[in-house]
Amino acid sequence: QTATYAQQQGWHLYLVGGGVRDLLLTDNHTTLNLQDIDLVVDGFHRATTPEAGVKLAEALQAIYPQSRLSIHGQFQTAALLWHKDPQLGSLWLDIATARTEFYPYPAANPEVESSSIRQDLYRRDFTINALAVRLTQPHQGELLDFFGGVEDVRSHFIRVLHPNSFIEDPTRIYRAVRFAVRLNFDIETQTREYIDYAVNSGVFERVSLEKNSIPALTTRLKAELTYILQAQYWQPALKLLQEVGALRCLHRNCQITPNLWWQIRCLDRWLKYYHADSYNPSVSSWLLRLEIILSSFPEGVIVANNLELPKESIQRLSHLSENNEKIKHYLPTCQNISEKVEFLANYQSITLLLIAVKNSKPIRRTIWNYLMHWSKVKSPLDGKDLQKLGYKPSKLYKEILNKVLALYLDGKIKNQR
């Protein structure tokens, strides 16, 4: 229906981007579940105006009133959202008008103007993402491959379209890594050299999250970074990001040393057990991975602020090193379990997880025992028992019950129930 409407307007409509790539990568036996469809409209009989995509989306929404329409950006693009069933998830349909982007200076926000489909594809990141399938007549179904994308899909290569690509938009370095790891493709040699050139020319110093100098770019970098940290393939992706020098956008000296790797992996293992216990509050694993990385350099809190991480996350990071010092010094002086429990109860469990992986085995083990066992131990007596024993309810109750719990934790009394 969208294609028919476009055709009536004298426009061409194309399926572009990841959808075409994924179609080419899908064999005949697999059903492709496209959840994110990108369409581009350009002039055929009649030139388009920047609003063509929006007009098309509005027409489509009139046909499918259950979809939700949103329009964004200075060069308007429209998105339609359908809520499919819970198993299939939602369907996003993005419709844009063919456009060209100009970067007034490196890593700037691009300026945009209407263009042909060829130019629209040329502004894209990689050859494998610069393919289009025409959905309108004539030549409906034709695959447009101006830059050798089909060959690169076949040979499993991530290749940029022009040498300046990473200088213009350093988030493409993150995208190159993401696609390489996700699709199990290689970053083509020349493209890798362009990445090295961009990184060595200081592109990440210019857009550093420490400075937040270009907010729109920061938002895109954040999106790419979180995408990677949330993905199943986060470990090889993080390794490759480090290898290409892309972690410099977090901090000029950000390095995942063997020790930091160990902490991240240990945290991940712990979180699996921790989350398996339904009594424990849940927290996003990717966020804690990021917190551990940010806690490895002093400006981590500034970066967390610029990344607009959740408030609790920023709070945790702000006090992490101070809390770590306190725990490191005080915990080994605690003589018995009840003392350790009383001391550790001052800290949130997520903070303790982060601190545990930064410390030596005895402290780690104590924190683990506290989180998984001791903190869940209930006093063998409760208020009703005290009443039965003839004590009148008073402020002393809490004190007595705590004392009983401490004796119980230290094995000095047994539970008689």
Binding-site ranges for ligand ATP (CB under 6 A): 17-18, 36, 38, 124-125, 129, 169, 171-172, 175
| Identity of the residue, 97 or 129, whose beta carbon is nearer to ligand ATP in the bound complex | 129
| Identity of the residue, 171 or 208, whose beta carbon is nearer to ligand ATP in the bound complex | 171
Query: Which residues touch 187 (CB under 8 Å, ≥6 apart)?
Result: 157, 158, 176, 177, 180, 195
Could you tell me the smallest distance in angstroms from the CB atom of residue 127 to ligand ATP? 10
Nearest to 350 by CA among 382, 325, 315, 305: 315
Whether residue 332 has a cis bond before it, omega within 30° of 0: no
| Identity of the residue, 172 or 316, whose beta carbon is nearer to ligand ATP in the bound complex | 172
Identify whether the C-beta of residue 194 lies closer than 8 Å to the C-beta of residue 163: yes
Could you tell me the smallest distance in angstroms from the CB atom of residue 164 to ligand ATP? 12
| Identity of the residue, 283 or 307, whose beta carbon is nearer to ligand ATP in the bound complex | 307
| Identity of the residue, 94 or 291, whose beta carbon is nearer to ligand ATP in the bound complex | 94
Nearest to 290 by CA among 327, 247, 233, 330: 247
Could you tell me the smallest distance in angstroms from the CB atom of residue 358 to ligand ATP? 33
Q: Which residues pair with 90 in a beta bridge?
A: 83
Could you tell me the smallest distance in angstroms from the CB atom of residue 165 to ligand ATP? 8
**Number of residue whose CB is nearest ligand ATP:** 18
| Identity of the residue, 125 or 299, whose beta carbon is nearer to ligand ATP in the bound complex | 125
Could you tell me the smallest distance in angstroms from the CB atom of residue 145 to ligand ATP? 13
DSSP string, 57-99: HHHHHHH-TTSEEEEETTTTEEEEEEE--TTT-EEEEEEEE-E
- Give the C-alpha separation, 405 to 416, whole Å: 13
Could you tell me the smallest distance in angstroms from the CB atom of residue 103 to ligand ATP? 11
